[in-house]
A and B are shown apart, each in its own frame.
Chain A
């Protein structure tokens, strides 16, 4: 670990919160184009965050400390998650600090806090949202872990840096199991990021909300932090997907040319991924909430199939 890698880690730490709203803006723009609406400006999420930070916070009378502290915890957890994932280089100081399982744990921590905050004020919608979020979460988590494990089985490690190193820098091999895991991961990330088949991020109907219902009571800078954290979560999941399934272009050693190439590659891959996400959201309709377990059960099944296919086809060669 030398000074360059530490500086690079700081750069990644700053890059994640800066890039995350841009990704959200890009997805919104693509979605508007696909749905034949006039698109909001690309920088709209930044304006929104700025506006929210300027507004004053209105708290419910019975809001406790948990309600006020939760946005900071959630935001911190998401920044940490986004920096653990190797996006610019596999040789970063944070890399060995936490592996994929710890990463899933960090996501779970943020989920616990947002659910607690949803229930804290005691409105019925907040409780409803929190319960639904926990339902989706407890079904999505095993599927997420299984799809990560498929990649771990191939590279014999749960450390994300090692996975990216193995998959991205070895001779190119077609892994059918990774295709299964990739589909499962896509389904999980749609559910986890409150995207359309499971939840609608732009809904105004409280009865169908999951994520939005929990944060109805938030305002001002708290709401800004939570919105920012949601954008970061989207960014973290996209980067995790890229790291597991499209790891090409992430350099091992750090030089300036390598770094700019990696950054350009990351932006390119995120742009493609965001456009695909917008396409999926445009093509599918929101499911009933009771279909969500079926959706996530299918994701879990695909991830398990991925592992089985790996054991059958890709071992002993």
Chain B
């Protein structure tokens, strides 16, 4: 049983990495939100699996919070936002997706190497997935750097939180409940504030392209 569940956790971790890459290469904002939702679902499933294997009760709560917050609430807010902002069918112009992907592979190799000593120290069933968690944090970073519109950047930020959460689950069976609740609330509030920001940015510049923010005054 625990043999197969270890493999199942590995499989879910691999799917998480795959989804991170898919988000990195996605041009459409709507598909990006759906991918984020799928990532949340995978995260929820893997947390529940770890909880089932180890019998850690609080991990069930974490899985439940993930399900409510990242699969239902945040995607719903994002969907509402892009409908209100009318950027639902926006296609973002990225610089050269294959190059971004290649940088992504380099990042994955880097984080796998970085995580090897950490995972040797950890004694959890899911210790070998620390590298994947790190890689998905890195990939979300890369996504925030390469995007120029505000909504994908925020999704990158949320995906990064997913990666951190996964890292916590795989290295130490999750953070204490208080911390987890705090982070969940932070993410939710952050999302609401950033949602207000979207409208402000658009009102100022008539566009959600945050490159406009780099100009301090009008020439």
Q: Residues of A with Cβ closer than 8 Å to B?
A: 173-174, 176-177, 179-180, 183, 293-294, 297-298, 301-302, 304-305, 308-309, 311-314
Contact = CB atoms under 8 A, between A and B. Distances in A.
Interface in B18-44: 18, 21, 25
Closest 3 CB pairs of A and B: A176-B14, A174-B7, A297-B98
Among A173, A176, A297, A298, find the residue whose CB has the most chain B CB atoms closer than 10 A: A176
B191 interface: no
Among B7, B14, B102, find the residue whose CB has the most chain A CB atoms closer than 10 A: B14
Nearest to A301: B101
Contacts of A180: 14, 18
Nearest to A171: B3
Contact of A305 (B7, B25, B98, B105): B105
A312 B7 contact: no
Contacts of B153: none
A313 B116 CA distance: 11
21 contacts: A173-B7, A174-B4, A174-B8, A174-B10, A176-B11, A177-B14, A179-B11, A179-B15, A180-B14, A294-B97, A294-B98, A298-B98, A298-B101, A302-B18, A305-B105, A308-B105, A308-B108, A309-B14, A309-B17, A313-B14, A313-B132
A312 B102 contact: no
Given A176-B10, A176-B11, A301-B101, 4 more contacts: A302-B21, A308-B109, A312-B131, A312-B132
Contacts of B98: 293-294, 297-298
Among A177, A293, A309, A314, find the residue whose CB has the most chain B CB atoms closer than 10 A: A309
Contacts of A294: 97-98
A311 B112 contact: yes
A297 B103 CA distance: 13
B21 A301 contact: yes
Contacts of B7: 173-174
A297 B25 CA distance: 11
Contacts of B17: 305, 309
Nearest to B102: A301
B162 interface: no
Contacts of A309: 14, 17, 132
B140 interface: no
A94 B1 CA distance: 40
Contacts of B102: 301
